[in-house]
Amino acid sequence: MKIFVVGANGRVAEELIKLLVERGHSILAGARSVEKVPEMDGVKPVHFDLHWTAAKMAEALENAEVVYFTAGSRGKDLLQTDLYGAVKVMQASEERGIKRYIQLSSIFSMEPERWNDSITDYNIAKMFSDYWLMDKTNLDYTILQPGNLEEKPATGKIEVNVKEAGPNPIPDVASTLATLLDQPNTVKKVIMMHTGDTPIRDALASI
């Protein structure tokens, strides 16, 4: 499949792109700084800015069949990037007739009573972008909500639909995102996760 990854220079996205290429997909790597996209067979860097209009984004999506939204401003541009930028990518995807849309979010984004006070503004941005995807689009979405991201080796095992936050090695989050493509049962689902004891494919198949 031809897959567009928004936020291609991010920590999760870089791991995700490697996995998708290994699985035979062709990647359009959308990033504001295309020169930072790692050179790799099967990957085409595409200049993409979340401050653009939805119409301009739609042009950049080319003939993609799937969109992954993995971008984040790390608290520096929450309204324009994490919230409105995400909404415009959804609108652009619908304009191009792309149905499958996978969004990386944050655990408990839709449960304000469980938010960590230190990242309240981030959670607000994620909450509204997640709800927009669910309520204002006809996309075949999946929203993945991991807890704390950690730069640790992959375990290949997770737990889903968790009730508490927990650690998430970045390679495991990337692998979970990649595996969602093969799991039609995850369409129209919000999946909270952290590291665990169940192989990723088995965990997603159980949803």
Question: pLDDT per residue over 127-137, tens digit each?
Answer: 999 999 999 99
- What is the Cβ-side half-sphere exposure of residue 151, based on CA atoms within 13 angstroms? 3
What band does 188 get if pLDDT is binned at 50, 70 and 90?
very high
Helix spans in the chain (H): 11-22, 54-60, 84-95, 120-135, 170-180, 200-205
Q: 148-181, pLDDT tens digit by residue?
A: 999 999 999 999 999 999 999 999 999 999 999 9
Q: 61-99, pLDDT tens digit by residue?
A: 999 999 999 999 988 999 999 999 999 999 999 999 999
Residue 92 tokens read as 């652009």
Residue 43 tokens read as 């990957």
Provide the residue count of the chain: 207
pLDDT score recorded for residue 130: 98
pLDDT score recorded for residue 195: 97
- The domain limits of the chain are 2-205
| Cβ(86)–Cβ(69) below 8 Å | yes
Vertex 84, ends 145 and 75: CA angle to 5°? 60
- Least confidently predicted of 40-49, 93-102, 112-121: 112-121
Domain 2-205: give its CATH superfamily.
Answer: NAD(P)-binding Rossmann-like Domain (3.40.50.720)
Is the pLDDT at 117 greater than 90, yes or no? Answer: no
